[in-house]
Amino acid sequence: MKKQTLKIDSKTEQLITVRDFVSQAAYASGFNDEEVSKIALAVDEACTNVIKHAYQYDAKKKISITVGDSNGNFEVSIVDSGKQFDPKKIKQPDMKEYLSSYRRGGLGVYLMKSLMDKVEYDIEPGKRNQVRLIKQLPR
């Protein structure tokens, strides 16, 4: 599948558009319903994090989502130019401990990692943040 890019305003109401865009691309790459749902959810989580944390709900900002196949993988890249973060500081929560303390939030990254094969970050301080969500193409 050829690369395709969707550019959206940093607004939560755009999440449904993102999920539709990514789902269509994932179906075109041969994934089944279950896998498509997982990919769409992972991308929703990544975009929600950008809207909340990188842009802190500034709706004038833009997020760019690119989908495509390469080297046997389906890859979704989400790029923003908001507040940078250090991916090393994101801890994988211990879910048992998490649930027993009734906390909320912080589940997005855990979900992204559980739903995809690989989650990679590429941060250029002050310029752009990129997160790449990767899943092996179905054989």
16 binds other proteins (CB under 8 A): yes
107 binds other proteins (CB under 8 A): yes
114 binds other proteins (CB under 8 A): yes
Which part of the chain contacts other proteins (CB under 8 A), choosing from 8-16, 67-75, 80-88, 125-133?
8-16
Lookup: tokens for 129: 């943040």
**Angle, helices 15-28/33-49, rounded to nearest 10 degrees:** 140
Among 8, 26, 39, 41, indicate the residue that binds other proteins (CB under 8 A).
41
119 binds other proteins (CB under 8 A): no
Q: Which residues contact 119 (CB under 8 A, 6 or more apart)?
A: 109, 112, 113, 131, 132, 133, 134
Q: Please check whether residue 4 is in contact with residue 67, taking contact to mean a CB–CB distance below 8 angstroms.
A: yes
Site string for other proteins, 47-76 (x = CB under 8 A): -x--xx------------------------
